[in-house]
Amino acid sequence: MNKIKSFLWACCALLALTSSTNHKPTIYIIGDSTAADKPKYATSPERGWGMMLRGCFSEDVEISNHAVNGRSSKSFIDEGRWRKVLEHLRPGDYVLIQFGHNDEKPQPERHTEPGSTFDANLRRFVTETKAKGAHPVLLNAVVRRNFHKASKQNDDDEKLRDAKFTGEDIVNSDTLIDTHGAYLVSPRKVAKEEGVPFIDANTITKQIEEKLGPEGSRELHMWYKPGEIPTMPEGRQDNTHYNIYGARVVANAMADAIGKAVPALQPYVRHYDYVVSTEGRGDFMTLQEAIDAAPSGKPVTILVLGGTWSRPTIPQGKQVELVRYFNAKIG
């Protein structure tokens, strides 16, 4: 029965995506800080993977990121954030639903229980998305970078923005140790019950982090020594939140997973060597920086997300192709 539901869902999604001539399908993202846009992108390298997803799809699909720092499935609903998404949803749109990090927290305004209130909130997102003629996709939480078997549980990931760099990194495992427990099970369970796609974001990010290892995986996160970032004079040591590089790596992996889980979106998935955006949605905020980073003697594709740009200087020997989105103009 679930296979039949999934097949019918895929057929409906494909029909909705291809039949509308006046409405670009929009991928909405709801979730927490690991996916959220960051308003201080000009002065901080912290990014959410959802902030970088724009550079992983063609212009034929819109991306609307409503994930917010510190929110759980409960607080996202209680603060009216879900209602605002529902007001904009149209038939043929998609909603990526990813919570868990903050549902685990003890504060009553955020806490939910897996198998109970957490599942109920996820089911509400799914049911109300379907009622609007849109398509829900459930994801579980991304991993925390935890290579310690007895790691101390933090009561608030948002406090990590005040975690000063110490250089101390207690590691006693070659593999990541899970910190989410049953909160990883609920999205998979609800997706199966409701016959909607599920993306195992936890396994995807676990594989990324473990491939890099305990030391290399720091490069994905907000690990900065004092003085590296002017706005963080005492540095930062944060194993939850992504930096620019980490968010780009995870966004690319998520785009592939979305294309696999939702076949109708697969033709619109794109990958570029570098993405440039004045809004912090890429690797660089200036085109010349991307050109300078490109290796010589190797074809490199750079996506330019809108805006008007001065013509960059391309040194001899660099093979650079510029792809322009949203009427980007290069003088």
Helix (H, G, I), strand (E, B) or coil at 147: coil
Mean pLDDT in residue range 222-235 = 96
Question: pLDDT at residue 14 above 60?
Answer: no
Q: What is the pLDDT of residue 219?
A: 98
Percentage of residues in the chain with pLDDT exceeding 70?
A: 90
Q: What is the pLDDT of residue 20?
A: 44
DSSP strand E in 41-100: where? 62-65, 94-98
For 242-285, the pLDDT digits (tens) are 999 999 999 999 999 999 999 999 999 999 999 999 999 999 99
- Residue keyed to tokens 């016959």: 195
Helix spans in 239-278 (H): 244-261
123 and 145 in contact (C-beta within 8 Å)?
no
Q: Which is more confidently placed, 29 or 22?
A: 29
Question: pLDDT at residue 18 above 50?
Answer: no
Q: Which is more confidently placed, 3 or 179?
A: 179
Q: What is the pLDDT of residue 220?
A: 98
Q: What is the pLDDT of residue 212?
A: 97
Q: Which helix (H) or strand (E) holds 241?
A: strand 236-242
Q: Which domains occur in the chain, in start order?
A: 2-271 (3.40.50.1110), 287-330 (no CATH)
Chain-centroid distance, C-alpha 319:
30
Question: pLDDT at residue 17 above 70?
Answer: no
Question: pLDDT at residue 207 above 50?
Answer: yes
Q: Which helix (H) or strand (E) holds 4?
A: helix 2-19
- Cα separation, 294 vs 180, in Å, equals 38
For 34-51, the pLDDT digits (tens) are 999 999 999 999 999 999
pLDDT band at 161; cut points 50, 70, 90: low
Q: Which is more confidently placed, 40 or 152?
A: 40
Q: What is the pLDDT of residue 19?
A: 44
For 285-327, the pLDDT digits (tens) are 999 999 999 999 999 999 999 999 999 999 999 999 999 999 9
CA angle, 112 as apex, 164 and 84 as ends, to 5°? Answer: 85
